[in-house]
Structure 1
Amino acid sequence: MKTVTSMTSSWKSTAFFVGLFWLLSVAASAQSTATDTVCVSSSDVTYGITSADPTSTFTWGFASGYSALGTIDNSVSSNNSEIEIDWGSTSGTTRIFAVEQSADGCYGDTVFLDIVLNDLPTISLTGDIVCEGDTSSVQLTLTGQAPWDVVLSDGTNTYNYTTSSSTPTLAVGVQSPGTANITVVSLSDANGCSADLSGVTPATVTINAKPTTGGIYHF
């Protein structure tokens, strides 16, 4: 009896390591079947298995040879058929995989998803100095994927633009003599990513009053 018990324990141990080796090998060698895009620093992004069997359990991970550009949270569903990933601030391409194990202990085919992480767009502004009656404008410097949707504000009015230029000069409606600070309300690009505006410096638009010229007189 002791001999049988020892053989059974040894077989279970061997089977575990063989299964683990198979799982890692398949994850490394199988081909990706789909592609997704996401913005860097996105949090609680949900990924799941289509028509998942509620009696199965699922194991997720980053495929061999790819950087783990985020953190996987396996607590979304009790059997891990759905997970959430908090993506980091590094752009690039990574690959996640999922392996299903049935209630009978059988493994399904490993499925993959390639994920492209896009940088957030950025913006900087340069102000303008004009004379009263002239058109005031701001010059923008943009990064990201064109076209961009930009919303600016002078504190009273908002201005909505769509531009394909990374260095556009955009008119604003400031006309009264004095100064106005132009701030960015929002910026998004063609990748669907929105800018972090916390460090963006407003631009100053200065309107210089025109002189009031008297009439011509004759001596």
Structure 2
Amino acid sequence: MLQLQQLEVAYDESTVIRDISLKVKPGQVVCLMGRNGVGKTTLLKAIMGLLSPKNGSISYEGEDITKKNPTYRSRKGIGYVPQGREIFPMLSVYENILIGLEATGGKIKEIDETIYSYFPILKEMAHRRGGDLSGGQQQQLAIARALVAKPACILLDEPTEGIQPNIVSDIQNVIREIKEKNDNTSILLVEQSFDFAKSVADYFYIVDKGRIVYEGEELVESEVGRFLSV
């Protein structure tokens, strides 16, 4: 579904991503791990079209989208939940979710009730301002805003960072439910928690200094811990 080939991304003259190649298959949860500052968020921004790669290519469902803009990518079915959530604090919960439908280009006009089954608290707080929610509730809102467009590929950037344990559990359950009920929906997850990653992911990539240093279906802490510890 998603394939990167020898991708290189830089900020001005500083190269952050170096020669990264990876694949995300339909229905697969792939976890991207590594210390802070090694390029994980940069990689997701490049996939979403927010940064332009210097070299390499990005393919989605067999189409080269390397030079396509973020709107094109979202309407093709790529959803993005950024680090830090980036919800609209002055808009209501309902309005925040409604904005997510813009990604469909008008194909979907109403919020599917499934969204509220994932995060029931959002329905209870539908008319509350996004900025008045707790950090964990804002994270749920950011995920709901992406899911409402029914993306085929979801990019999740550290969804459990700084979140209380009960909401981490909710997010974990949602990822598992998406895997079980949507055979072709893929997730590329950036995550720091070793246990969380192992509980939801099918395949793992470890990034260090902008390069892939490990990949595989198993994640053994004794083998990869040196790339994850501070």
Structure 1 and Structure 2 fold alike (TM over 0.5): no
- TM-score under structure 2 length normalisation: 0.23
Q: Which structure: larger Rg?
A: 1
- Higher normalized helix content (fraction of residues): 2
- Higher normalized strand content (fraction of residues): 1
- TM-score under structure 1 length normalisation: 0.24
> Which structure would you say has the larger RCO, counting Cα contacts within 8 Å and 6 or more residues apart?
2
